[in-house]
Amino acid sequence: MANQRLSDTVTLSVGSVLFKTTRSLLKTFDGTLLSNLDELSTEFDARENVYYFDRDPELFRHILNSYRLKEVHIPRTVCPLVFKKEMEFWSIPIQMIAPCCWQYLYESENNLADLNIVMNEDNDYKKKWSKHNHVIPGEKDVATSAEMQDGTGQEIHKKGIEENGSRRSKIWLFLEEPASSTAAKVWYYFYIFVVLVSVVLYLIWLVPSVRVSRYLSTLDQDSIDVFSLNSTAYEDLQKTYNEKIMMAGGTDPHPVLLAVDVFCIVFFAFELLLTVSVCPNKKAYFCDIYNLIKVIVCLCMTITVVMEINKDILKENNRVAHFMMACRGLASLRLLLIFRLRKIFNSLHIMLVALKHSLKELMLLLFTFLVLVVIYACLIFSAEIESDMFPNTQLTMWWAVITMTTVGYGDFYPVSTFGYILGVVCAINGIIVLALPIAAIAGVFSNLFSRNSEFQRHKKAVRDDKGVLTAKT
């Protein structure tokens, strides 16, 4: 009896289908579940001399075949992720998968990872504000279905309904969720409109024809004797006579423009203060880069306008003028407020997400680029040592950047034969170095974009399909 049990033939019952094989075959992969079977195994039935497993016999056929082939091939009719789980059950190590099946497995895993990114981004917003209610009509089922799976969603959902009535959460939804009501949608588009108006305003702010002269005309340029001034005064004068600074400092914006700009500032500040005051999670609110931009834009716009009105400060102090110019520069960030559109245009949001997840590729691009710039800068400096074209290495670095990005201003150019050759190599190298990571980033975007379309499609299907059974959790 004992001899029979330990004989080479093994009978396995997998999902009530019998498989007969030899013990020596099962020893092919040492350390796997099948190679370790003996009469002490819990699956062993001594009376019938059979090992019982409650697994899918269809999948087991392929598992058993791996022992014969000495490598694992994933059947194309099975989801590779399911097959991976099956391999885990039989404790077959992942390195046994044949290279021909790697793509099949890892592509699915990557797709799933991308899908998770997309779904997290979608739920991210809701989770962040989970103290508050965010039951958006028509969206609630899908929004919480993912959360339900880990058991926490139900509680949040219930809590959300309880708080639904509070006035703060209503204002919050009105301000932050254009999908929550028609009024919120109107507010949302009005906000975008104000952003656009403020951007147009910014662009025409310093156009000479819409500015009103202030004290420029009263300054008589000819009466100043340049030679009698000391050096600092002369420098100041030079700075003052910079055409752009003269215009910014010596003229006022048209009163209508000023009024509209003040309206925009009041609007942005009002929106910001109101949102912050009803925000359920202030820390999370200010961790969002978009909201930080809102704060910066509000501050800079206010400073710019206050200084524009009290221009006498600028006349006295050149530093203040530069500070104002810096604020004006930062105030151009108002254009970024247009990214509020990401709430409606999902693919815009996915583009930002793709950039966020391509950080590694971007850093790689920057690093390779910098290394090459330094190399070409040093080479061209040596090659052009006899000409007076490249006076120092800072300028050769500038030349390398401009050549590698194929901009080619032409302010510095090689004149020697070796310099020409270097220029050609540098330009071609630039194209290649820039193109490669960009393809990778585009790949990330395209993947995320596809997964997002699938997710949106699925969301819509769930929303439309109200009669389906839901799995109990």
Nearer to Zn ion, 100 or 431 (CB): 100
3-state secondary structure of 8: coil
Strand bridging mode 50-53 / 44-45: antiparallel
- Among the listed residues 464, 467, 473, 460, the one whose alpha carbon sits nearest the alpha carbon of residue 122: 460
Whole-angstrom CA distances from 314 to 246, 376, 472 are 11, 44, 69
Q: Number of helices (H) and strands (E), helices first, in the chain?
A: 20, 6
Total residues binding Zn ion (CB under 5 A): 4
* CB of 35 vs Zn ion, minimal distance in Å: 22
Given CA atoms 162, 165, 166, 169 in this order, what sign does their dihedral have?
positive
| 91 close to 70: Cβ distance less than 8 angstroms | no
Nearer to Zn ion, 79 or 98 (CB): 98
Q: Which of residues 112-131 bind Zn ion (CB under 5 A)?
A: none
* CB of 73 vs Zn ion, minimal distance in Å: 4
Nearer to Zn ion, 79 or 100 (CB): 100
What tokens were used for 53?
Answer: 């497993």
Nearer to Zn ion, 105 or 444 (CB): 105
Nearer to Zn ion, 73 or 343 (CB): 73
| 216 close to 246: Cβ distance less than 8 angstroms | yes
Residues 47-76, mask of contacts with Zn ion (x by CB under 5 A): --------------------------x---
* CB of 100 vs Zn ion, minimal distance in Å: 4
Nearer to Zn ion, 100 or 424 (CB): 100
Nearer to Zn ion, 100 or 212 (CB): 100
Taking the CB of residue 46, how many other CB atoms lie within 10 A of it? Answer: 9
* CB of 98 vs Zn ion, minimal distance in Å: 4
Per-residue burial over 136-153, b if 16 or more Cβ lie within 10 Å, else e, is beebbebbbbbbbeeeeb
Residues in the chain: 473
* CB of 105 vs Zn ion, minimal distance in Å: 10
Nearer to Zn ion, 98 or 204 (CB): 98
| 300 close to 308: Cβ distance less than 8 angstroms | no
Q: Which of residues 75-104 bind Zn ion (CB under 5 A)?
A: 98, 100-101
Q: Which of residues 408-467 bind Zn ion (CB under 5 A)?
A: none
Please state the separation of Cα 19 from the chain's center in Å.
51
* CB of 143 vs Zn ion, minimal distance in Å: 39
* CB of 79 vs Zn ion, minimal distance in Å: 15
Nearer to Zn ion, 84 or 132 (CB): 84
Burial (0-12, 13-18, 19+ Cβ within 10 Å), 338: middle
What tokens were used for 234?
Answer: 């002369």
DSSP for 304-359 reads HHHHHHSTHHHHH-HHHHHHHHHHHHHHGGGGGGGGGGGGT-HHHHHHHHHHHTTH
* CB of 101 vs Zn ion, minimal distance in Å: 4
Taking the CB of residue 34, how many other CB atoms lie within 10 A of it? Answer: 23
* CB of 30 vs Zn ion, minimal distance in Å: 22
The answer to whether 326 contacts Zn ion (rule: CB under 5 A) is no
Nearer to Zn ion, 101 or 197 (CB): 101
* CB of 66 vs Zn ion, minimal distance in Å: 10
Residues that bind Zn ion (CB under 5 A): 73, 98, 100-101
